[in-house]
Amino acid sequence: MENMPQLGVGTFRLEDDTARKSVLDALKIGFRHIDTAQIYGNEEQVGDAIQTNGIDREDFFLTTKVWFERFGNKSFIESVHESLAKLKTDYVDLLLIHWPSPDDKVPMEEYLTSLAQAKAEGLTRHIGISNFTIAQMEQAVEILGEGEIYTNQIELHPFMQNRKVAERAHELGMSVTAYMPFAVGKVMKSETLNTIAEQHNASPAQVTLAWIKEKGYYTIPSSTNADHLQDNFDFEKVKLSPEDMELIDNLDNGDRIVDPDFGPEWD
């Protein structure tokens, strides 16, 4: 699939049969964008689901991410081949750097060159980054050239809208993919989002997804529940008013959920 579908399904924290079933359910519902990563330990289950579903390879978009322990020159491409073997496919549609190298242990030039090599060798159709700060995005574009980086996948939800990073990403010619769009369930508890949802006869999750799309971002919510997956898939029935958008914009309070000790200095 040439372009990444705006709505995908994430598999973070999904293990074993749960991961396989979630992806199978998602494909059955109509999702055509599946996101995984080496560190999730579920590439094999994702591959099983895709095979079981019997969907043609060119009819869905598949993303995986290289973990920083595999950034060394020799290890990088080797790790991509391992991922492809687990996913039971010859290529992914998008290969991401999962996190910038902690403390620049491996120079960015080195691992981004390997990333570009994976694309040149046909192991992936697009390349991108994840959890990069503004300075790191700028550095990455300097190394790879403009138009090469497909997306920066970042934590983004109504309570942490990451506006500066999102804006700069777009200026640098890359899309923004929002992970954890529901802020691990916090959107379901938000009074504002529940009120808007009631007005639209929708769920707070659907309202959040409509807001993300309106902002021009991609997103990859995950769920182990087929009904929730269906609910997410049907979000486009929600048409938010400018007033709704403004109310959601005002929920931003910098509430960052993903902040590991190896993470970069956030903007």
Q: How many domains does the chain have?
A: 1
In a domain, 3, yes or no: no
Q: For the stretch 41-61, what's the b/e string if a residue is b when 16 or more beta carbons lie within 10 angstroms of its beta carbon?
A: ebbbbbbbbbeeeeeeeeebb
What are the tokens at 265?
Answer: 């200095």
- For helices 242-249 and 191-199, the axis angle rounded to 10 degrees is 170
In a domain, 13, yes or no: yes
pLDDT bin (cut points 50, 70, 90) of residue 35 is very high
State yes or no: 98 annotated in a binding site.
Answer: yes
Model confidence at 30: pLDDT above 90: yes
Active-site residue flag, 40: yes
**What is the CB neighbour count within 10 angstroms for residue 256?**
14
pLDDT, position 73:
83
The length of the chain is 267
Tens digits of residue pLDDT in 208-264 = 999 999 999 999 999 999 999 999 999 999 999 999 999 999 999 999 999 999 999
pLDDT bin (cut points 50, 70, 90) of residue 113 is very high
In a domain, 209, yes or no: no
In a domain, 40, yes or no: yes
pLDDT, position 1:
84
Backbone angles phi, psi at 240, to 5 degrees: -80, 145
In a domain, 41, yes or no: yes
Tens digits of residue pLDDT in 153-182 = 999 999 999 999 999 999 999 999 999 999
Tens digits of residue pLDDT in 57-89 = 999 999 999 999 999 888 999 999 999 999 999
In a domain, 127, yes or no: yes
For residue 113, the domain's CATH number is 3.20.20.100
pTM over 0.85: yes
> In terms of residue numbers, what domain contains 117?
9-183+217-224
The percentage of residues in the chain with a pLDDT greater than 90, rounded to a whole number, is 97
In a domain, 255, yes or no: no
pLDDT, the chain, mean? 97
pLDDT, position 38:
98
pLDDT bin (cut points 50, 70, 90) of residue 2 is confident
Tens digits of residue pLDDT in 213-228 = 999 999 999 999 999 9
